[in-house]
Structure 1
């Protein structure tokens, strides 16, 4: 039996539960492609959007068609789904404000960016890339210390600068790619 002076285990602290609950809610929201497309369109437009325009764009992206090629039945199917299911779920999570005809992102939508780090299927995850770069750097620095790497043409400080520069260039590329692949930054959702 717990007394007032005892601390609670980490997994049962109220703050931890709230954080885990919110993260679970966010992952649940983002697990649906139609909701991600809706968020993408709203972020891209940066102003309140009409439900009709949103439905049209989401339908075009889902069906991989141009806007002009979407039939009224395809548009209506997405419109109804957004209106009855997806937008109320996003509104309940305080990600959007929805008044039956217009949709607008809330300030809470900015917190979704951390969960939407998109890695293209043909690329190496950045964590693995930096681990490999660290291994290469460690081999070079160890080689300099053990005098296996020639320091005649490139001095020791030059090798260290080269490793540092590789990390710097990699970090810049990483930041640029993440900004480019962020939801709401491209014409079509990533």
Structure 2
């Protein structure tokens, strides 16, 4: 065991602590709607954007208006907030490069989709859905084992195929929805 003098601070490194702090930082970044909107717009444009364009679109999304309907005061409020707070925060986290007028996403920003599971308001989380689907499959399989489920009309292999098909179709729908709901994929942010 190494010893340290009293004047040297000691730190305890725990496995994965850097990953956990980075993950916490990313969740903190994404917890703010205005930053998510800024990332969405930059991903959608796929080229460097000006601060003015970004402010207009973020203000329009926040106020649920068309860009042309945004007043100069609404635009300026968002512009100032982005310039003074949100863009410097994203730049310190290496998500964007910001030079006071243009914003460009970094390669780090491409990895943000891993941290987002956007669930529409009229939907249930996919984890809950799959848990329910597994419960239905378990009931069917238990019924087959206990010979409660009728096998005359539908054979055992048919029931197993039905359960498999439910999972397969659900997985395809899940993948399609996740791709559609990514930041930068739709006109309006999810």
| TM-score, scaled to structure 1 | 0.90
Distance 2:61 2:181 in 1: 16
User: SS in structure 2 opposite 1:185?
Assistant: coil
Higher mean Cα deviation, 53-62 or 139-148? Answer: 139-148
Unaligned ranges ≥5, structure 1: 5-11
Displacement, 1:13? 3.5
What RMSD over aligned residues (CA atoms) do the two structures have, in Å? 1.3
- 2:41 matched to 1:41? yes
Alignment partner, residue 7 of structure 1: none
User: SS in structure 1 opposite 2:47?
Assistant: coil
Displacement, 1:14? 4.4
Alignment partner, residue 85 of structure 2: 85
Alignment partner, residue 6 of structure 2: none
> Structure 1 129/57 Cα, relative in aligned 2: closer, same or farther at 3 Å?
same
Alignment partner, residue 178 of structure 2: 178
Structure 1 residue runs of 4+, over 4 Å off? Answer: none
Displacement, 1:25? 1.0
Higher mean Cα deviation, 144-153 or 30-39? Answer: 144-153
Distance 1:74 1:152 in 2: 68
Distance 2:150 2:14 in 1: 58
Distance 1:13 1:170 in 2: 42
Displacement, 1:55? 0.7
